[in-house]
Amino acid sequence: MPLDAFREHVLLTPGPTPIHPRALQAMTRPMLGHMDPEVFALNREIQADLRVMYGTEPEGFTALLAGTGSLGMEAGFANLVEAGDEVLVCANGSFGRRMAEMAARYGARVHLVTAPLGEAVRPEDVATQLEMVQDLRMVAVVHGETSTGVLNPVPEIAELVRGTGALLAVDAVTTAGMEPFHMAEWGVDYAYTGAQKCLSAPPGVAPVAISDRALSRYGARHTPTPLWYCDFEGLRDYWTRHTYHHTVPVNLHFAFHAALQAALDEGMETRQRRVQRVGDAILSALTPLGFSPYVRRPQDRLPTVLALRLPDGFDDAGVRQALRVREISVTGGLGPTAGVIWRLGLMGEAARPGPYRTLMAALEDVLGARGLVARFDEALEGVLA
Ligand SMILES: *Cc1c(COP(=O)(O)O)cnc(C)c1O
């Protein structure tokens, strides 16, 4: 069957998210060189917009890495950790464990703070570890754990880390660009996301923000950063001094710039309300079928990834396959939650009534259920009123 490039597909996955129309349009711009003055001007705007999105210090360093969110994660450990350093990782899901794995590969002595699946990391458990581990170099935490739909209490953890001398690295992949993020105010030293999550740009660039404190720690390294490609000094060569380091994906910069401007034009508070409203409407529509929130405590629920426990006896694989045939992609659980939950993406352009109304109509059809669309619409209007 030939692949029809222009067929409509309803992408409800927790990344990638549907591409923003302005980003798609920007992708059609003719190629420019990565050293072109126009590209440097565009990069300066991207850097300024990223300062706003992350809430950095006024002159905080921001940049795009040429890779996905995982490269943002890896660059933090590669630049800010040296072999033998003590690193504390909050690991209550797949992405927290990925952080621990990376820290270990860069030679860190990794200490873990865990939590049961579906629960947030407890600040008191972080405090205990902070007291036990001497000369801690870094604390790393995933803000929104995509694998379980859990929001970790980053501001509270940041407050504990402040004053210990350790750097704080935060995975902001499911939060920055959709929910308010206050890097400087909270005391975060390194933050990253992926273009294809909350900003609905194409995958392939990872926006990062690095605090002055992190840059000076980096400057005091005993050994060069093992990851040449994302060495902070190399990033500054290109992004600040405008000298060649490597060829950046210029057309992804065009698209990212357009998507980020669209997000800032809309405003984080408006985006946050959009997520909440659509999320609440989904829950109202699906609860009578036996779906329930997977994350027990409301304050631990990540708004941008709605994790729903499936009704007893629900044919997870069969229903998602039937949806896929109808051009709708829904993501199930990972590892221990496979077959137990669905993870509905509410990042970027996925957090709109249209695509979820399409899901409700398709579920009425697939499950032989009634009233889903009506309940969904009623809940949306209820919020508006
Ligand atoms: C998606 C995701 C990543 C990894 O991003 P990729 O773009 O897939 O490399 C890291 N952390 C979290 C929380 C994510 O959701």
Closest residue to atom 6 of ligand 1, CA basis: 69
pLDDT of 352 reads 98
Task: Give the position, in ligand 1's atom list, of the atom nearest the Cα of 206.
Answer: 7
Q: Give the closest residue to 192 by CA, choosing from 241, 147, 143, 263.
A: 143
- Residues 146/343, Cβ–Cβ less than 8 Å: yes
Backbone dihedral region of 153: left (phi > 0), alpha (psi from -120 to 50 degrees) or beta?
beta
pLDDT of 8 reads 84
Q: Is 352 annotated as a binding residue?
A: no
C-alpha–C-alpha distance, residues 23 and 204, integer Å: 13
- Name the segment(s) of the chain with CATH classification 3.90.1150.10: 267-384
- Name the segment(s) of the chain with CATH classification 3.40.640.10: 31-265
pTM for this entry: 0.97
Instruction: Sort 1 into a burial class: Cβ within 10 Å, 0-12 / 13-18 / 19+.
Output: exposed
Residues 6+ positions from 219 with CB-CB distance below 8 Å:
none
Task: Give the position, in ligand 1's atom list, of the atom nearest the Cα of 142.
Answer: 13
What are the φ and ψ backbone dihedral angles of 342, each rounded to 5 degrees? -110, 150
pLDDT of 356 reads 98
C-alpha–C-alpha distance, residues 215 and 220, integer Å: 9
pLDDT of 180 reads 86
Closest residue to atom 5 of ligand 1, CA basis: 69
C-alpha–C-alpha distance, residues 380 and 372, integer Å: 12
Q: Which of 13, 73, 74, 95 to mutate to test the pocket of ligand 1 (most atoms within 8 A of CB)?
A: 95
Q: Give the closest residue to 333 by CA, choosing from 366, 280, 372, 295.
A: 295
Task: Give the position, in ligand 1's atom list, of the atom nearest the Cα of 71.
Answer: 9
* CB-defined site of ligand 1, < 6 Å: 15, 68-70, 73, 95, 142, 144, 146, 171, 173-174, 194, 203
β-strands 341-345, 331-332: how paired? antiparallel
CATH says 267-384 is which class? Answer: alpha beta
Closest residue to atom 14 of ligand 1, CA basis: 173
Instruction: Pull the structure tokens for residue 276.
Output: 């909440």
What are the φ and ψ backbone dihedral angles of 188, each rounded to 5 degrees? -90, 135
For domain 31-265, the question of CATH label 3.90.660.10 is answered with: no
94 Cα–ligand 1 center, Å: 10
β-strands 109-113, 136-142: how paired? unpaired
Give the residues of the chain that fall short of pLDDT 70.
Answer: 1-6, 383-385
Give me the amino acid identity at 50: L
Instruction: Pull the structure tokens for residue 82.
Output: 């040296």
Show the beta-strand stretches assigned E in 134-217: 136-142, 144-145, 150-151, 167-171, 190-192, 206-210
Residues 6+ positions from 365 with CB-CB distance below 8 Å:
326
pLDDT of 363 reads 98
pLDDT of 385 reads 52
100 Cα–ligand 1 center, Å: 14
Q: Which of 173, 175, 190 to mutate to test the pocket of ligand 1 (most atoms within 8 A of CB)?
A: 173
173 Cα–ligand 1 center, Å: 6
pLDDT of 383 reads 62
C-alpha–C-alpha distance, residues 204 and 71, integer Å: 10
Closest residue to atom 15 of ligand 1, CA basis: 146
